[in-house]
Structure 1
């Protein structure tokens, strides 16, 4: 699976987001800082989604499996 990072130069630095992951967006003074911030934003969005899913599932019986995605 591949995700698409998008970066845009702004007068005060850069903004970045992931096209396929709503909510994963950030900004930074440099492109390198924005890339690092975006990785953190992705982790935070995934953690928040995990918490929301657990709340929705409640005490229902479910089966969980780990899915590993290669990181480029």
Structure 2
């Protein structure tokens, strides 16, 4: 796992901003009693919850930043995001207009993008 680089025979960390800009996958699950639970599996212990989907997404983004900052300043190893080069992360999907409208309205009600809302629904399935 590459987290450090060699420069003039000295080990030098990448700047903190480098790690903060890495794209980690998150999972969000619905908890019928407490709202939602989110975690980033590549960052052990990085999980949070929220009453709404929007709050949960904000909380997990804040938790990711705090996790990375803590690991960085404690000189702990920071794992790179796991990846699978087989998949681009993009999917073209055709759906009925009525379903598109219902999804868009539900996303608006949760104050999240349509993409984030559909990702939540798929990850909860």
Structure-1-length-normalised TM-score: 0.67
Gaps of 5+ in 1: 55-72
The whole-number CA distance in structure 1 between the counterparts of 2:34 and 2:45 is 21
Look up the match of 1:67. none
The alignment status of 1:3 with 2:24, answered yes or no, reads yes
Q: Hey, what does 1:29 align to over in structure 2?
A: 51
Q: Normalising to structure 2: TM-score of the pair?
A: 0.40
Residue matched to 2:72: 50
Match of 2:39 among 17, 30, 44: 17
Distance, in Å, in 1 between the alignment partners of 2:23 and 2:68 is 16
For structure 2, the 5+ residue unaligned runs are 1-21, 77-125
The structure whose residues are more often strand, as a share, is 1
Quote the offset at 1:2 in angstroms. Answer: 4.3
Deviation string, structure 1 residues 38-68 (Cα, Å, up to 9, x no partner): 00000000111012108xxxxxxxxxxxxxx
- C-alpha separation in 2, matches of 1:47 and 1:18: 15
